[in-house]
Chains A and B, each alone.
Chain A
Amino acid sequence: MASINEQLREQARKLLADKVVDLIIGYRKGSLPLRSTPYLVKTEEEAGSLIFDLTSSNNLAKYLPRVKTENRGSKIGIVCKGCDGRSVVQLIIEGQVKREDIVIIGVPCEGVVDTRKVRKKTGGEEVLRVSLPVLPGSGGREIMVEGRGFKITLDKEEVLCDVCLGCQHPNPPLYDLFIGRPREGSSARDEFKALEEFERLSSDERWRYFEHEASRCIRCYACRDACPLCYCEQCFVDETHPQWFGKGPDSSDTLIFHIVRALHTAGRCVSCGACVRACPVGINLNPLWVRIEKEVKERFGYTAGLSLEVTPPLATYDENDKQEFIL
């Protein structure tokens, strides 16, 4: 059987050749080990560089609204792992893109690597070379990383992102074609695993955790800008009429930024973890987001981005609802 990358390239070439799509948002190999990079493919030749693997960590749905505006009238192909696909569904529901304007190329996701976890495993030493298990379903779990004077083998479960460890939807809920075979659902995984440790904390400790994370925030907004659902023309943080919280790096202000952003994405967040991976200083507020999604699921029986039919709780979700769960 052809590898997933070969199949992906083949299908992409075909879509372009048959003019089913004008361009494809995908990934190609990045300039660093363990990094792939978003890639906008316009020609069949470029399609030959497409890849999908454990390093395809960006949420490509982010680019849909922009690519759409910059290429009016074009039909856009997009490579979607589970969470990208759910974001696309959410964007369609929210009227940011039209279903008929996009062609979803589903890929079976085995999770994406958290480079920070790898960095911990190597004791801070730089990774210079890696070899990844072949996808999909090869059963391969070993990731070999090499650097100056070391060569270690990691089990992929040790270094996958937290959100991937609890992922229930490794395949996009909606697709026009699928590369390889959809993965078996991973209901065996605990959806809210990332919360386990967090929920054992007292509310004081939780607050301290958030405060500590927020205190390191440099307000580069990479998290917001990497999030496919943060597409507001004017983000609340940039509001000047009135400007209701400070723009500096004090944790009292950065906390407001993160909490309000969490509220803005409540019931819409697909737990892709793109914001956590984007952060250049390693801030992990994932528990805040996952906690909210859990709450939304328990209160409204809703999980974002699974189907075009379900009306999201947004309309009925009142921001004045009791929000004791945040703390």
Chain B
Amino acid sequence: MSEEIFKLEKDNLEGFLLYLSQKYNLFLPRRVDDQLSFGQMKPGGKPSLDHYFNTDLPPKEVFFPQRETLLSYEGGEVKHSTYKAKPIALFGVRPCDTKGIILLDRVFAEGEYEDPYWKARRTNSLLLTLGCNAPLSTCFCHWFNLGPFNKEGTDIFLTDIGDAYLVEPCSKKGEECLRGTSLLGATGDDRKVAEEIRRKAESSLSERVEISSLKGRLLALWEEDLWEDISQKCLSCAACSYLCPTCHCFDIQEEGSQEKGERIRIWDSCMFKLFTQEAAGTNPRPTPKERLRQRIMHKFSYFLDNLGEFGCVGCGRCIRGCPVNLDIREVIKAVKSFIVESR
């Protein structure tokens, strides 16, 4: 990539967003009733970037909406279509969530089958990732070697340096996009400021826990009553999964009559008992113990088996959103420190 780093004065942000929204269907962090999530840019709309640490809902919903029509039918006729509007751009995604989108790319678009609905929205989409000057205490992206200024997977990387953003193209798409602007180059001083901000942010992160050997640990502890202890308070809701930028489970449902209606997919979660309820009455995951273990195993073991990467990006949403304060970091620590009693 080019070494060029540009500078976008905050005063010119509006113009920049306008430029983006001409080429793209632009989504940015928007606050509705104290809740931050990615919303479509409305004419004259502004992003909610003050007190913006991360959105409450993950950006996956832009590419993987909670409800999606797979097909519609009427009489004997079946119709289906995928996203066809302008390519999507996300402005202000946090690095952890960019990584989450990259992981979901692998889930949905890699392998034997390609998910056409995900693919249609992702094709030609542009990710403008914003570095985190002030990580939350629940952020633990650094456990996964990501970190608040991780550029992996992004097209354009932004650093907030006060009254301006440093704008760094990180992909061909990003370069092309910036070519259409009249942004000036950043000075050496700007870069120094950015470097200092980055250093400060990284040093403010909570203590890092080493997780490279976690997978083996997890497999060894499969049978242990550790899982009973950990899951005791879990309510088997789906707050953690629905807030998670990498959870991709869905259900397929019918809406309508036999004559006319839609086949839709909606988010679903392995934490629900019915998720694996079988028609014959059996259920391989009958209690919260098996279900929570599945969630942890999927993120920290199965993802590694299948894609060679952890399935968690450390965004901390599940920690902030769990109604019983079941903290995934504590689960990891408990797994690490669990002592197997000889039987």
Contacts and interface: CB of A to CB of B under 8 A. Distances in A.
Contacts of B45: none
Contacts of B82: none
Contact of A38 (B32, B34, B67, B233): B233
A56 B237 CA distance: 20
A238 interface: yes
Most buried by A among B33, B241, B326: B33
Contact of B255 (A35, A62, A125, A248): A248
Interface in A225-274: 225-226, 238, 246-250
Given A126-B137, A248-B266, A249-B66, A225 B53 contact: no
Contact of B32 (A30, A32, A116, A216): A216
A221 B240 CA distance: 11
Interface in A15-74: 30-32, 35-40, 58, 62-63, 70
B56 A280 contact: yes
B236 interface: yes
Contacts of B329: 31
The size class of the interface chain B forms with chain A is 35 or more
Nearest to B37: A281
Contacts of B243: 280
**Majority DSSP secondary structure for residues of A touching B:** loop
Interface residues of A, number: 43
Contacts of A277: 323
A222 B235 contact: yes
A245 B252 CA distance: 15
Contacts of B235: 62, 222, 225-226, 278
A282 B321 CA distance: 10
Given A31-B319, A220-B237, A225-B235, A37 B325 contact: yes
Contact of B326 (A37, A124, A278): A37
B176 interface: no
Given A32-B138, A248-B255, A221 B238 contact: yes
Given A31-B325, A280-B243, A248 B34 contact: no
A3 to B, nearest CB: 22
B51 interface: yes
Contacts of B35: 216, 281-282
A112 B301 CA distance: 38
Contacts of B274: 238
A221 B67 contact: no
Given A222-B235, A250-B67, A280 B323 contact: yes
Contacts of A220: 237-239, 241-242, 269
A311 to B, nearest CB: 30
B152 interface: no
A281 B237 contact: no
A120 B34 contact: yes
B237 A226 contact: yes
B72 to A, nearest CB: 14
Contacts of A221: 237-238, 272
B136 interface: yes
Interface in B115-149: 134, 136-138
Contacts of B9: none
Contacts of A40: 232-233
B325 A218 contact: no
A81 B33 CA distance: 30
13 contacts: A40-B232, A58-B323, A63-B233, A124-B53, A126-B136, A219-B266, A222-B239, A225-B323, A248-B67, A277-B323, A278-B235, A280-B239, A281-B35
The 6 A-B pairs of least Cβ separation, nearest first, read A124-B51, A278-B323, A280-B321, A222-B237, A248-B67, A225-B235
